Amino acid sequence: MAEFTMELNDEQKEVRDWVHGFAADVMRPAAAEWDEREETPWPVIQEAAKIGLYSLDFYAQQFFDPTGLGIPMALEELFWGDAGIGLSIVGTGLAAVGVLANGTEEQIGTWVPQMYGDVNDVKVAAFCSSEPDAGSDVASMRTRAVYDAAKDEWVLNGTKTWATNGGIADVHVVVAVVDAELGSKGHASFIVPPRTPGLSQGQKFKKHGIRASHTAEVVLEDVRVPGHCLLGGKEKLDERLARAREAVKSDGERVKNAAMATFEASRPAVGAMAVGTARAAYEEAMEYARTRTQFGRPIIDNQGVAFQLADMRTQIDAARLLVWRASWMAATGKPFTSAEGSMSKLFASEVAKKVTAQAVQILGGNGFTREYPVERMHRDAAIYTIFEGTSEIQRLVIARTLAGVPIR
Burial of 57 (0-12, 13-18, 19+ CB in 10 A): exposed
* Per-residue pLDDT, 138: 66
* Per-residue pLDDT, 253: 44
The alpha carbon of residue 235 and the mean position of all alpha carbons in its chain are separated, in whole angstroms, by 29
- Position 263 pLDDT exceeds 80: no
- Report whether 393 contacts 341 (CB < 8 A): no
* Per-residue pLDDT, 400: 92
- Selecting among 131, 340, 388, 392, the annotated active-site residue is 388
| Residue 261 binned pLDDT confidence (cut-offs 50, 70, 90) | low
> Between helices 105-116 and 83-102, what is the axis angle to 10°?
160
CA distances from 11 to 15, 318, 330 (A): 6, 24, 21
- Position 37 pLDDT exceeds 50: yes
- Position 303 pLDDT exceeds 70: yes
What homologous superfamily does CATH list for 258-403? Answer: Butyryl-CoA Dehydrogenase, subunit A, domain 3 (1.20.140.10)
* Per-residue pLDDT, 137: 64
- Position 250 pLDDT exceeds 70: no
Mean pLDDT of 302-328: 97
Kindly indicate whether the domain formed by 10-121 is annotated with CATH number 1.10.287.130: no
How far, in Å, CA of 252 to CA of 60, rounded?
36
Going by C-beta distance under 8 Å and a sequence separation of 6 or more, which residues neighbour residue 86?
23, 27, 75, 78, 79, 273, 276
Mean pLDDT of 98-109: 92
Query: Which carries the bigger pLDDT value, residue 391 or residue 1?
Result: 391
Q: Which of 245-249, 377-381, 403-407 has the highest mean pLDDT?
A: 377-381
Tens-digit pLDDT profile for residues 326-344: 999 999 989 899 999 999 9
- Position 60 pLDDT exceeds 70: yes
Q: Which of 87-101, 267-281, 331-345 has the highest mean pLDDT?
A: 267-281
| Residue 255 binned pLDDT confidence (cut-offs 50, 70, 90) | very low
| Residue 405 binned pLDDT confidence (cut-offs 50, 70, 90) | confident
What homologous superfamily does CATH list for 125-250? Answer: Butyryl-CoA Dehydrogenase, subunit A, domain 2 (2.40.110.10)
Lowest mean per-residue pLDDT among 60-64, 227-231, 353-357: 60-64
- Position 128 pLDDT exceeds 80: yes
Active site (annotated) includes residue 105: no
**Average pLDDT over the chain, rounded to an integer:** 92
pTM value? 0.91
294: alpha, beta or left? (left if phi > 0; alpha if psi -120 to 50): beta
* Per-residue pLDDT, 389: 87
* Per-residue pLDDT, 237: 93
How far, in Å, CA of 144 to CA of 116, rounded?
27
* Per-residue pLDDT, 136: 62
Phi, psi values for residue 39, rounded to 5°: -135, 155
Residues of the chain with pLDDT > 90: what percent?
Answer: 79
What residue spans define the domains of the chain? 10-121, 125-250, 258-403
Mean pLDDT of 277-305: 97
- Position 130 pLDDT exceeds 70: yes
- Fold match, 10-121 / 125-250: no
Mean pLDDT of 108-127: 94
What is the SS3 string spanning the chain?
CCCCCCCCCHHHHHHHHHHHHHHHHHHHHHHHHHHHHCCCCHHHHHHHHHCCCCCHHHHHHHHCCCCCCHHHHHHHHHHHHCHHHHHHHHHHHHHHHHHHHHCCHHHHHHHHHHHHEECCEECCEEEECCECCECCCHHHCCCEEEEECCCCEEEEEEEEEEEECCCCCCEEEEEEECCHHHHHHHEEEEEECCCCCCEEEEEECCCCCCCCCCEEEEEEEEEEEEHHHECCCHHHHHHHHHHHHHHHHHCCCCCCCHHHHHHHHHHHHHHHHHHHHHHHHHHHHHHHHHHCEECCEEHHHCHHHHHHHHHHHHHHHHHHHHHHHHHHHHHCCCCCCCCHHHHHHHHHHHHHHHHHHHHHHHHHHHHHCCCCCHHHHHHHHHHHHCCCCCHHHHHHHHHHHHHCCCCC
